[in-house]
Amino acid sequence: EVLQRLGSKHVLVVHSKDGLDEFSLAAPTFVAELKNDQVTEYWVEPEDLGMKSQSLHGLAVESPAASLELIRDALGRRKTENGQKAAEMIVLNAGAALYAADHAY
């Protein structure tokens, strides 16, 4: 409602059960969606969005250098298991951003 008062038209405020402030591959994600001047609250499972539920093990990093390495792995052609998971998290959350921007339905 605060974002609506600030002039926002379509917003997703999300929090996953595993503590992320983004959509998660490992747990249900709570969504409060502002659209058409209405706030709707619901839960989303990874499978609801066409993603496989899986552990986030290996995605936590300890340094900027490790973060860069994981991002490069995620965006590269030959991915490690962790790089593949990171790529799927990127796709999941980029899709949500496109939806919130009304560029995907």
Question: pLDDT per residue over 68-82, tens digit each?
Answer: 999 999 999 888 999
Q: Low-confidence residues of the chain, pLDDT below 50?
A: none
C-alpha–C-alpha distance, residues 36 and 79, integer Å: 40
Residue 45's domain comprises 2-99
pLDDT at 104: 77
Give dist(CA 3, CA 47) in Å, integer: 28
Q: CA-to-CA distance for 94 and 69, rounded, in angstroms? A: 20
Number of domains into which the chain is organized: 1
Residue 19 lies in a domain: yes
Of the candidates 41, 35, 38, 32, the one whose C-alpha atom is nearest the C-alpha of residue 14 is: 32
Q: Give the rounded percent of residues in the chain with a pLDDT score beyond 70.
A: 95
Q: Is residue 105 part of a domain?
A: no
